[in-house]
Chain A
Amino acid sequence: MTGRNARPTIESNLRLMSGVALALFAALILALVLVQQSLVSSHRTLETVVVPVQQDLGRLDAAVAGMFERQARVSSTVSSTQLEALRDRAGLQSELEGAQARLEAQLATAGDDASAREARQHAARMAPAIREFLGADDELLASVSRYHALHEDFARRLADAQTGLRELTERAAAISGVVQLGYIVLLRRVARDPGDAVLHEVVFGDERAQLRCVEDVANGALDLSALSGRIALAPDGDTLNSISANEIAQNRRRVATSLDDLAELTARDEQLAQRAESLRARFVDLSSAIGDEQRPDSLVSIRRAIYLEKGHAAEVRETSARRAQQLTADVAVLQEAANTLTAESSRHARRTATVTRIGVVLLAALGVAAAALGARRVRSSVGELRAQYQRLQQLRDELTRANENLEDQVQDRTEALAQRERSLQLVLDSTGDGLLTVTLDGVVQAERSRAAAAWLGEGGGAPAPVWSLFHPDDLDAALALRLAFEQLVGDVLPFDLAAEQMPRRLQRGGMTLDLTWRQVTEAGAMKRVLVVARDITERLESERAEREAEELQDMVASVLRDRVGFGESVTEARSLLDVIASADEPQLVRRALHTLKGNMAMLGFQQLASACNELETALPSAPGDVVTDRQVVPLRDLLESTLRRVKDVVGDDFVSLVEVCDRDIDRLLRALHDGHDHAAIIAFVASWRDQSVEAVLGRFAAQASRIAPGLGKELDVTVEDTGARVPSGELRTLWGGLAHAVRNAVDHGIEPPDERIAGGKPPRGRIALRASAETRLLTLQIEDDGRGIDFEALRVAATGKGLPTTTREHLIEAMFTDGVTTKSEVTTLSGRGVGLGALRQTCRDLGGLLEVASRPGLGTCLTLRIPLSRESTVMLPSSEAA
């Protein structure tokens, strides 16, 4: 196919098409990016410049309108109080200035085209305009404030003037009254006595003229009052000029003339003259306060100042309005500029859209063209593919023919192999072993050695799996074997390791077969499994007989050595078995089992000891689960069968013996000889039935000496006793525990000789067993000179059990706890950490105490104090001592 380079291949066609598609796609993406960038820039202009600018323009416009409205309100106030309420314009000012500043800042970021430049110029021009506007506002406020102050001053002064004028009028009236009274009194005199003198006075007197003058003054005061009112109401300066120049001047002249006349007329009457003079002074004062143009605080002057201020305020207001208009115009221009910016952005966006549309149409046309081209090329490529397919078919046919020859060759080879297999069968049969081959799926193959056929049956029937063949009647065992086999042939474990775990023994028709599992490999891969079975029945039987004979020898030796001790041990073993079978508490069971194990080992009941050890190992550590009868019965049977064998040898008289030592017999003889009291002699002899502590300790010592060599220890055991006897059976439970303690001393306490030499001690260890009785208290001691208690190991063990370890007492306490042991190796004799606990419990059950004293490297001493039910020793009277 590579030879057809001249024409384009399908791959090159597809490559070309995908290249075109990729180019189109890239062009599309590029176009999109360009369009997006263009639109984003338009949008950004709108978002960052135009919209905020328009917002600020709106704010600016609103602030200008607000200021203008405020100015209108300021102008229309009528009192200082109203004005004060409007004085604060901080909000509007900051709005105005802030909007302008922001506007300028935003426009600075706008583009650099003509409209943006123009907008910037306008915005910059606005700052001074705003300042002028605010300045005009300040001026207006000040002007209106002055206007109000003037107005209020005017009102106050007007009220004062009115009051003064009323007072003036009253004074005039009072003078008038005095003059009138004088005149009337004169008239009355005329009426009573119309004499010439009186008449002359009436006709030519001054009273009438005085009255006229006073009336003129009063009228003048009234006029002045009216004039002050007109001043207050004068609409403009011209009216004020007229009032001031014409009427006030005239009023002043007229009243002055009248006052001059009055002064002249009253010159003779001092009191009246005084009153007239004060009237004049008051009038001049008031007239000046009202109409004196020269006085800045006269009503006329103040009124004029009010006009001026009003005019000024109007001017300022106008200026301010012009500024506001200018600002509004600027805002409008800027608004226009913002609109232009918006329009430009929109135009830009529209242009971009149009260009995009054209680009998309072009790209689409290109795509269609490329697709047409590609289709044509692919069609031609498909034609070539068909041709290639036909060539391949031809090739296949050729291969089929070649294969048929191959099958013939294989058949020849197979027949050769069968021949070889048959010769192999002869070899298999010639060995005495049973040989089986098993396929990987467990099927036992028909070919097997003659022995295998004899033990396991001929393989003529239906092919059976190896587990059914080995365990035809035991489904559980068959299942176990099947699982083990599957593990064997599985890839999970190495074959050798899996083979180790395969069953090694098979009981079949009274035979015991030893099984070996081997793999048969072909070309490095396991193909089958070879099972080799040997008959080991006889060998096992002889081994067992040998073992039993040894055991029997040991047991017989024990009996011979110490019949009584043996008997007691047996009795105790039975009661321990009862405890094991019946106790509810796992701890009790464990202790009993442990003690039984130790005792049986000491007596030489090796099988029973092993059985105990197995049961102990199998015993679940969880509390609440106790030993079942099924587990105890074999132990009991084993004990009894062993015992029967012992009895066959030594008879069965070792269970009811009483131990009497020579010394006791000597004492008895002497007592009889000396003619002692019968009662004393009877009591003494009766006490022989009691147990001799010395004898018990002697047995422990013998046992200790016996087991020591087995443990690699050299040992001297001494017994120190004072002849104490205890009621038979009373301490039976204690002896077992005590024996255990002695074993512990040998096993754990005493070091091997080389270790002792290294520690500077004699190679032989020493154990002392002591007993002493004091009336009803029996003291027992087991002392060794061994390594002492290893407190460090104890601490580790106790910590592992979660016990407190801070003090020596804590550690000793931990030592009594079941399951705490410093030995990592469990032996038949001791080492489960149960022994001491059991001993202390027994001691406590008997009402006694157990103490432990130990010095590392120097030895351990166990002291037991046991109360007795009666005196421990019955001694004959002391002639013996003589």
Chain B
Amino acid sequence: MGPTRRHFLGGLLSLPLLAATRASRAQAAGELRIGMTTALSGPSQALGVGMKAGVEAYFRKVNDQGGVFGRPLRLIALDDQYEPLQTGPNMRALIDDHAVFAILGNVGTPTAAVAVAIADEKKIPFFGAFSGAGLLRKTPPDRYVVNYRASYAQETSEMVRGFVQDLRIHPQHVAFFTQNDAYGDAGFAGGVKALEAAGFERARKLPHGRYPRNTVDVEGGLARLLDPKVTVKAVIMVGAYKPCARFIRLARGSGLDAVFANVSFVGSEALARELGREGDGVVVTQVVPHYDDALPVVSDFRSHVAQEDVNFASLEGYVAARAFVEVLLVAGPNAGREAFIDAVESGHPFDLGLGRSHVMSPANHQFSDAVWPTFLRAGRFHPLRRWGDLRAGP
């Protein structure tokens, strides 16, 4: 019911005529328009819908207090169905037709590959995308790209740390299962880097199964990991929830006894739903705290978001929106886009309510490097404070 209604709303918003009418009215009201092109339908819609809900919740809170320097914030969200071919037109519509100030909270790595190029070309801030890919984290960073979340490399690095240090699994018993695209590549590269950093040189030669995006054809990939020549005790999974869930089920059915660790992008709640009881022990690393956490921003989030919308994606949207508004406040009244980026790079310590301050520079456009591991038990996620807890399972 909920997703259907949101889908409908997204469709409404993507009607250019209606959107243009709203844009002109917004202009008159002095609104600050923020754009978002994301997956509001299709297999990855849970992430897009969650991010959108979180951003809108925080914007609503800010607008209820009078907006930013008196200007209300308005989110204009278009649906690209996690399809890069649709992302380009959406980005151009947002920038050219809706004259948005910035892009906030897009979902996806292959879509970001298209969107970042356009944002750079148009000099539009590209803020808080739901993607941990390296292409958003260049060295030095793209001037207009600012991230809230930790990278996939940082997530996989946390996995490697947990496997090797806490669970005492030898790096050569680690395998990869990734989506056959930029997202999968990013996760793979991050994991390889972490393993190499841990002193394991042959990380690139580790078993690596892949599947095509938007399919559940996981058998070929699984076959690689089941090769009798190799022993797999932990799998770093960089994929979508459906193929990942199928993979875990098939793998366990084929006798593969390993720790399955997914990066945050997998879509935690959908994964949990898909696996049901079979999901126990599956790890998902998060880039936000658990939504039951007591950190200030999390409790604030809970009080401003409807219960059915409470999930990791919406929390990330909420936090990213807060980061965005904090930068606007530092940039000052009527600041332009350059002043906005200057504020990011100013060295000002930003407080997002995560119990730490975030300081950035022209060399660092990353608010957070923190990764919070969680694991499934009985269909629910629990914070994984020590990886050893997995062994202690029920």
Contact = CB atoms under 8 A, between A and B. Distances in A.
Contacts of B250: 181
Interface in A168-192: 170, 173-174, 176-178, 180-181, 183-185, 187-188, 190-191
B334 interface: no
A177 B220 contact: yes
Given A180-B220, A181-B254, A188-B255, A174 B215 contact: yes
A174 B219 contact: yes
Contacts of A187: 227-228
Contacts of A170: 212, 215, 217
B230 to A, nearest CB: 11
B228 A180 contact: no
B220 A176 contact: yes
Contacts of B223: 177, 180-181, 183-184
How big is the A interface, by class? Answer: 10 to 19
Contact of A177 (B217, B227, B228): B217
Interface in A120-144: none
A178 B216 CA distance: 11
A430 B227 CA distance: 195
B222 interface: yes
B218 A177 contact: yes
B226 A188 contact: yes
B221 interface: yes
Nearest to A190: B228
Nearest to A174: B217
Contacts of A176: 220
B255 A177 contact: no
B217 A181 contact: no
B222 A191 contact: no
Contacts of A190: 228
Nearest to B216: A174
Given A181-B254, A188-B255, A174 B220 contact: yes
B44 to A, nearest CB: 19
A565 B217 CA distance: 163
A181 B219 contact: yes
Interface in B171-222: 212, 215, 217-222
Contacts of B222: 177, 181
Contacts of A181: 219-220, 222-223, 226, 250, 254
A287 B212 CA distance: 24
Interface in A153-203: 170, 173-174, 176-178, 180-181, 183-185, 187-188, 190-191
A173 B212 contact: yes
Interface in B235-271: 250, 254-255
Contacts of B220: 173-174, 176-178, 180-181
A184 B223 CA distance: 6
Contacts of A184: 223, 226-228
A176 B228 CA distance: 18
Contacts of A191: 228
A170 B219 CA distance: 12
A180 B221 CA distance: 9
Nearest to A191: B228
Nearest to B212: A170
A43 to B, nearest CB: 67
Which of B218, B219, B222 has most chain A Cβ within 10 Å?
A: B219
Given A184-B227, A187-B228, A191-B228, A177 B215 contact: no
A187 B219 CA distance: 15
Nearest to B226: A184
Nearest to A186: B228
A563 to B, nearest CB: 119
Contacts of B254: 181, 185, 188
Nearest to A171: B217
A357 B215 CA distance: 107
Contacts of B215: 170, 174
B320 to A, nearest CB: 34
Given A185-B254, A190-B228, A180 B219 contact: yes
Contacts of B226: 181, 184-185, 188
A156 to B, nearest CB: 16
A88 B250 CA distance: 66
Contacts of B219: 174, 177-178, 180-181
A174 B220 CA distance: 7
Contacts of B212: 170, 173-174
Contacts of B218: 177
Contacts of B221: 177
B241 to A, nearest CB: 19
A655 to B, nearest CB: 116
Interface string A188-220: 101100000000000000000000000000000
A177 B218 CA distance: 7
Which of B215, B217, B254 has most chain A Cβ within 10 Å?
A: B217
Nearest to A178: B219
A190 B221 CA distance: 20
Nearest to B222: A181
A188 B223 CA distance: 10
Which of A177, A183, A190, A191 has most chain B Cβ within 10 Å?
A: A177
A188 B251 CA distance: 13
A178 B218 CA distance: 8
A181 B255 CA distance: 12
A645 B250 CA distance: 178
Contacts of A183: 223
A176 B219 CA distance: 8
Interface string B341-360: 00000000000000000000
Contacts of A177: 217-223
A177 B212 CA distance: 11
A185 B226 CA distance: 7
Contacts of B255: 188
A188 B228 CA distance: 5
A190 B228 CA distance: 9
Interface string B103-142: 0000000000000000000000000000000000000000
Contacts of A185: 226, 254
Contacts of B227: 184, 187
A36 B122 CA distance: 79
Nearest to A170: B212
Nearest to A187: B228
Contacts of A174: 212, 215, 217, 219-220
A163 B212 CA distance: 14
Contacts of B217: 170, 173-174, 177
B209 to A, nearest CB: 9
Contacts of A173: 212, 217, 220
A185 B212 CA distance: 22
A499 to B, nearest CB: 113
A176 B218 CA distance: 11
A191 B227 CA distance: 10
A191 B222 CA distance: 17
Nearest to A180: B223
B196 to A, nearest CB: 28
A791 B255 CA distance: 152
A170 B221 CA distance: 13
A187 B220 CA distance: 15
A178 B222 CA distance: 9
Nearest to A176: B220
Nearest to B225: A184
A175 to B, nearest CB: 9
A464 B162 CA distance: 168
7 contacts: A173-B220, A174-B217, A177-B218, A177-B221, A184-B228, A185-B254, A188-B226
Interface of B: 212, 215, 217-223, 226-228, 250, 254-255
3 closest Cβ contacts across the A-B interface?
A177-B220, A174-B217, A177-B219
Given A180-B219, A181-B254, A188-B254, 13 more contacts: A173-B217, A174-B212, A176-B220, A177-B217, A177-B222, A177-B223, A178-B220, A181-B219, A184-B223, A184-B226, A184-B227, A185-B226, A187-B228
Interface of A: 170, 173-174, 176-178, 180-181, 183-185, 187-188, 190-191
